[in-house]
Structure 1
Amino acid sequence: MIYKINEIVRFKPADGAIWSIESPEQVINLTITNCNLLCLLLNKKGEVLSREQILEDIWDKQGLRSSNNTLNQYISILRRTFSLLGIDDEVIKTIPKVGFSLNASISVEKECNDEPVKAVEKEKSPKRNPNNYIYAVALSVMAVFIAALFTYVLYKNSAYSLDTSIVNIGKFDACNVNVLPEYTRGQSRELLESSAKLIALSKVRCIPERIFIVKPESRGSGRSFLAECIVDKRRNEYFFCKGYYIK
């Protein structure tokens, strides 16, 4: 099943894909939590949902920890997604001191469509050898580093501003390619070429509002890291970052 929202956007809950009807190739994949939250709002269109109800249905029943601040962040992501996809109207209304509601004036239709949607690229996982303890430890260290980096980037404040510096080394198609300053080493051309190969290898497409952040292979590990982020350039706000390990 697919939801058609305000005659402008389609949303496929099965895989969290949401896209503009006019630009079906430009797909954004929502996280599981944001997908569940949007489904709840769509199915309860026009109803006022209390914060307590939403937190219980979306987080507590899944055994997840939640807070009002967490809910605010996820609502903010959904609002920005609709804005990026061309819906300028207020889709999700805030009901002061109560909760949220999907605007009753927003049209929502359910469509049956058996044709698969070309969704954004799936996260690639490295091939693992369960008997290789050293590989597992190295991968864990890299995972901690990446998690810390993007937690800092995305959750430093509620506006998701990028508060750490990155260096632009060029473009892949029309999208900016960036690295952290310590990885430039004064070799931007070589670094851009290797970064472009990583992006091509990951089969990640350049679409409007997307940038790439690359962590090159280092110390002979044979593994690199690539992140694709959707950014509202007018506000310098980043969200929907997704990472790929590449070996």
Structure 2
Amino acid sequence: MRFDIEGFVTFDTEDASLVNIITGDCIELSQTSNRLLTELLYHRSDILSRGEIFQSVFDKYGARASNSNLNQYISTLRKNMSHLGIQKNIIITVPRIGFKIAEDAIITCDQEYSSFFTPIPIKQEKTEKLDSWLRPIPISATIITLLFLLLTVIIKCTNNNKEVGIKEFTKESCIIFIPSNLPFNDVMNNEQLGHLSLDKLDCSSKKKLYIYKKQRNSVLGTNIQIFITECDEEKNRCTSHYYREKKNA
């Protein structure tokens, strides 16, 4: 299962990882932290008592359960989220009871989406696509503004650890912002972007697009992530889209 936290951090329960899809920063969780965060997010409308957490996260898997141990895991998860750019306290302590997810936290999971994207078949031999979709992510205008103010200052280049900037160009009434190290042709002809690729984009009205793409190649395969925010100035509305594809070697 996959959760989106505050619109820009993803939590993959299978990979046991937290990823900032804007910067590409990734934190791998321990198995206990992974189970704890999964329980909290899955029951995000409820308060989980310490006893319930001890049973479902620790005892069931033969891990040592204690108040101090649980507090340490909660503290570590909070630090991880803060490190990835989440300023809000997502995990709330309920005194003498347990823990819960903050009511104002923006949390969605992949089961709540209906995708309008048709995955592109992979024709390479010995290649298995584990996860691929392009779907809207609910995200507030304030968060979008903060994210891309941050992007205009600095974007990490995960391939060479150098900082790169933002470049912009126009197409009719659209203004497109992309990382300076992302080739223009990758945006113009990228089939993975669907109707948001620049050769198919409707720019008859004023729009701003923010596009970030990361592709990581390794001996294990290829991991592609694309994050797009489309802001229609006439409708005063922004929509975010996320595409992810894994190709195993």
TM-score category of the 2 structures, normalised to the smaller one? 0.3 to 0.5
Name the structure where strand makes up a greater proportion of residues.
2
Structure ranking higher in helix proportion: 1
Q: TM-score, normalised on structure 1?
A: 0.45
TM-score for the superposition, normalised by structure 2: 0.44
